[in-house]
Structure 1
């Protein structure tokens, strides 16, 4: 097989990619055709396809996606932490537009106070969910022999799924502002909200279903929810006092 030097680092290469720096071996001179096909269209397609592939797998196969990522199958997915920040930004934006277009409703001082509280501390509450999930799951699912960082990945997948469903809920709510479809979209919105509550259970169930019996998995997931509920109430109460 023909060997040549990488144009980026000078390392000897004989395959499609340089084993030293990862650059493609076919970095020929840039032409108008290659610029449009590879650098513009190729980059857009690669980013969008990978992004959508990651979202689809998180929603429909959360447990397997998390376990694949832990097992080292990562090139097919976007970085989960970066994706978390992107989705949180999308959620803030979509909620802003819903607030902008939704009919104004008279609110009591208590409701305004609670709304302002959650608006201010929503980031803290959401991102504390991941370490809470990781620590609780590490204690409950010992048979799997995942370390705390690997449980952090499973928790991240759970939160990503919740954020995807929240974003979908905001979009459905925006469409539901149109009176002819208001009732049906309100029902869809309630279903999506229910799924967002159940999403961590779905994630852990699909991730560990081959390692535990159904009763064993059911009580562990149930205890996980009880612990998460208690811890969330404590954190919310502490922040509420600070606020």
Structure 2
């Protein structure tokens, strides 16, 4: 049996993919059927499957997912930094719609606060990654993870925060409908609690097998104290600039 030849680079193929360029072995002439099934539907399904699977793992097992990603199990997950930009874009969009539909939210006495968070929201959000990563690098030294790997855990935590923010923004939009305002007001408060707890859940989920419960509790608590002090310092500096 003659070995297959890769249509992309001309090398011999012995498995499912070409060992030289990575193209699939079953790549063949494009037909109407293959165009629809493989190139269109297949690509969309593959992207959506990875996208929603990643969202699910971020919400229900963030620490475990981060450790999997660090250990090299990445093919099943959507690119974390592309996802970061997508979720941030959706957050900006939903907030824009909310303020357009509810202009009374921006009162004269609070206009400076809105202007501040509008201008520096991206800086405030993305500074969470180095804050979490750097603090965790020293607090969880036993894990022997380098600073970049701790940044990955911080990125997963921030992704969870952005998902909750997006959920909260959507709740706020629906809550503008007066009959549903009370119910969605409760959901909005619940989402705020989840936002506060998410970094703790992430690190607890990631390191629970490596530390005792008391040891993990004081480390996570210290992480929150440091993160709170540093975040307030950064916000104070930025607010003075504005």
Pairing 1:223–2:197 present = no
Contact 1:158 1:199 in 2 (8 A): yes
CA RMSD of aligned residues (A): 1.2
Name the residue aligned to 2:88.
88
- Aligned position for 2:213: 214
The C-alpha deviation readout for 1:91-141, integer Å capped at 9, x for no partner, is 0001111112225246133x1111101110011111111011000000000
Partner of 2:115: 116
In the other structure, the counterpart of 1:168 is 167
- Is 1:40 aligned with 2:40? yes
Contact 2:200 2:220 survives alignment (8 Å):
yes
Per the normalisation by structure 1, the TM-score is 0.97
1:142 is matched with 141
* Aligned residue in 2 for 1:73: 73
Aligned residues: 242
Runs of 4+ in structure 1 off by over 3 angstroms are: none
- State the distance in 1 between where 2:68 and 2:12 align: 32
Q: What SS does structure 1 have at the residue aligned with 2:7? A: coil
Output the CA distance in 2 between the equivalents of 1:188 and 1:216. 32
Counterpart of 1:21 in structure 2 is 21
| 1:2–1:14 contact (8 Å) kept in structure 2 | no
* Conserved? CA contact 1:173–1:189, under 8 Å: yes
Query: Which position in structure 2 is the counterpart of 1:156?
Result: 155
Q: What runs of 5+ residues in structure 1 fail to find an aligned partner?
A: none
